[in-house]
Structure 1
Amino acid sequence: MARSGRSKPALVLNEQERDQLQRWARSRKSSRALALRSRIVLGCAAGADNKSVAAELGCSAATVGKWRSRFVKSRLDGLSDEERPGRPPRITAEQVEEAVAATLESTPANATHWSRAKMAERTGLSKSSIGRIWKAFELKPHRTDGFKLSNDPLFVEKVYDIVGLYLHPPENAVVLSVDKKSQLQALATSQPASPMMPGMSERRTHDHVRQGTTSLFAALNVADDTVIASTHRRHRTSDFKKFLAKIEDQVPAHLDVHVVCDSHGTHKHPSIKKWLESHPRFTTHVTPTYSSWVNQVERLFAQVTRELLQRSDFRSVQALEKDLRGWGRTWNENPKPFVWTKTADEILASLGRLPPRTTGAGH
């Protein structure tokens, strides 16, 4: 005679319970656990035994038995997770508020910013608790970001002008982003570097021997990212005029030339103005003060610094200049154009969202 096992408690749903369980089972907003439990109850209410429901839903028979019993005992409330026992929180909301307020509104004695140890001493909490509070509120007292707002009275007009060139360049013209990276030092390590080996990074001495300086003049074609470059030991008006003459020679004669540059004194010298007047196809567009970010050639300077200069070892200025010229030639062999996407309106809107308050005003 077959064993019938223990009899299952009756599971009968009323109309409201069935509707709610079906909503939980179908809703995308329900958790996966609640949706599974709802399907278990619906399957059991349809008359299926625990094993059949478990096989259909891909879970164990013990899981089906658990939630069937929980529903029979507590109905819909039985499908929610029970509160787990544990130690009550030792940090109160008032202590969290105090730590956050102190971090934002004060500085420790004899220090410029809070550390976890100093804040723990101030609040009486542990350093790990302070770390968790700062992480939860995304507070990083040890870090700072830089900014400099332009005080140029024509800031808006200049941004519209230059961004308009990037997004809608004029026909039969080339747009060149022009600037110089001055005071590039030819630095030689005081001792030969220790090469990289498996499990060991390259090692360099912390001190250098200065061999002299040079300046890199660059004109970045914003359409194809090719660059016209030259090096000069000094940054004089005559050097900048020579660079303009190089641009004149290398840009096809039938194209107008729009030059985006900053307001450095060298660029505004009377001799430069006179040169530009004698070359009417050149038009200059001056970037606002403190706004080098709008000049695309800064991307090129960041690249050459990262790839060539940061870990350099030059025994002479001539070696530095040779490598700079070689880097420029290699860059032009496979340029990767940068696509400017931000409109002037979007840029001005993002600047308008900068926090209006500053710390230490008047100092």
Structure 2
Amino acid sequence: MVGRPRGAVVLTEEERAELLLWTRSRTCSQARALRARIVLACEGEPTNTAVAKRLGVSRDMVGKWRARFLAERIDGLDEQPRPGRPPAADDDTLAHVLVRTLTPPPPGATRGWSTRSMAAETGLSQSTVSRIWRTHRAQPGARVTAGPRRAWSLPDHAEEVVGLFIAPPVCVLAVTAPAGRGRSVRASGAATAARLCGQDQDAAHVLAVACAFAALRGKQHMEDSPGLHTFVAQVRSAADAGTSVHLLAYGAEGALQRPETSCRWHHVPSPEAWTEEAHRLLAADARLPREPASPVPRLRNALLTWSTTWTPSATPFTRIAPPRPAYDIPAICGPDNDSNAPDPRTLDHPGPLEAAQITTPDAAPGAPITPDPVVGLLREALLTDVHQPGDRVREAPLALRLGLSRRVVRAGLRALAEEGMLDLLPGGATAIPAVNTKDVLDLYALRASLGALLMRRIAMLGRGNLAPATAALAEVHAAARANDRLRIREVDLRFQDALARIADLPQAAHTFERLTARLRMFVTVLDMDYSQACDTIAAEDTAVHDALCDADGNEAARLWRVKIERCVRYMIAQLSEDDAAPYLWTTLAGRPRLLPGEPRGAAR
């Protein structure tokens, strides 16, 4: 009879059933489930090397738990007390230190968090803080380096990060890559992570914190996650045509009961491996110049808000990159795509490529953000023309003037109608909105309530996030000093939009900017003159900004309400209605609470 190999694992039916139960349990720790998988694999594999390769762990780990099981059976898989002093930081402390690095550094810190400042903040020693950062690869400001390529690595031609999903212990990073072979990301000139993380080396730190938080808080295995299915579908929709989606995943092996065949999965064995692979993806971009308006602060703030309020029943953290513009001007807006459009080269107006340059990347801080360049072009063209309320917008002159096809112009005008900037007529035509008292009250009622919400939210985020609003406020002061009535009304709205974006409430900011678009049209149609109110506008914006700098959300909301009161009364006064019209707002909305010394007049 042939004897068994030395070190061979033979399981009883009871032991096998219990180990399988550990691997499938929703309450079993990750460490215990991994030990169970190692022992189960050892039954079918005679060597530690084969088991290590199969499970993606080290040979030493396999040898340790094989020997422990052979010596003590099931009881040997329990965690045993380790010699020496107990660790100074538990999982809650580790998570707190990591999440704290996402917050603004203390006053006076010019280079972000240091081990000294974090130790003073948390009450730990500098060596403990340094050890936590090194262990989880989450040291703020550390240089991103490219690690070696592994079996689970993302493709070398990965182009952009388009999604992040966290539902402890699951952490998934979605990346796009060309569907074909042989094209390198560096050769194509694409910038990795540009849509979700930007060309910003801080993105590596944010992703490291995200994965470490998922691992520390993930005390149970998820057998199925509807949120993950939804995330994969959203990422697939956000990906560009002609690209494939690759998912860098930790802890997601048992999170999907039905396979996702539309994406390529790259499962990593540990949070450290996930973070190193994310660093490898972003390492080349660390040498690129930092973008002036990187998406990283929004990603960081969203992750900070979610992680500080996380509970085991919390909704998964999902971040999807915004879609690309619906219209690519050089590709589909040229004369070859519309047989009825004249050749721009034969006309005395800019062609499509020149028209695309009207939207410059050097737009002023707080300028309205439009994902579709065609919509931006049409909006600015309509705001610079002279219109009467109710005038129908003619597609042909706009197409001829901007060098676009009528089909593209028609779709862009409908998008502006959906924003509320234009009125949509039967048959799909659009018209300049007619302004009456009800429209003004409707618009400002929403703007007053939504603005107060945004002010309180901004006050919670800290002074360090106000840089875009501060830059926009400088433009307001410059226009006020020049007494430029056209410029002041534009930069005032840009300042307000800048505040809306700072709040990092995407739906609220999107609604607020749509209201801004309609308000800009109202101001243009009424040709409102603010030459006598430039100083008042600058003073109002400064007061709101100062209250936010002091983190006084209630005062900022009150000052916002005072500003809206003056704006709506002034706009209603421009309408040809009876004398009671300017007082209708006060009747419906009440009067704002004024402090002693504040003017009570109706000046803008």
Report the TM-score, using the length of structure 2 for normalisation.
0.21
Pick 1 or 2: higher relative contact order, CA cutoff 8 A, min separation 6.
Answer: 1
Say which structure is richer in strand. 1
Larger-gyration structure (1/2): 1
